[in-house]
Amino acid sequence: MQSDRPRLMAREQELQHQMRKLGSKRFLFGQGPERMQINTELMKLRSQLSEVSKQLNRPVVWYK
């Protein structure tokens, strides 16, 4: 498990970056199908981030 830690930390950073990028996009769209699609993608990323954080034994954090 210790050897997986660098890979998991890199994945955590990647997911956080993707979430920030989508959050910026969501700000641009008022309503409509684009915004709903972005929200769906954000929920999937949040779920993946939660799993990675759990594997890294991190406390639960609500990322922006």
Q: Where are the domains of the chain?
A: 2-53
Tokens of 38: 């972005």
Question: Residues 6 or more apart from 26 whose CB is under 8 A from it?
Answer: 35, 38, 39, 42
Q: Give mean pLDDT in consecutive 10-residue pieces for the chain, a chain of 64 residues.
A: 83 96 84 89 95 83 56
Task: Provide the angle, in degrees to the nearest 10, between the axes of the packed helices 5-28 and 33-55.
Answer: 160
Query: What pLDDT does 42 receive?
Result: 95
| Surface-to-core class of residue 8, CB atoms within 10 Å of its CB (0-12 exposed, 13-18 middle, 19+ buried) | middle
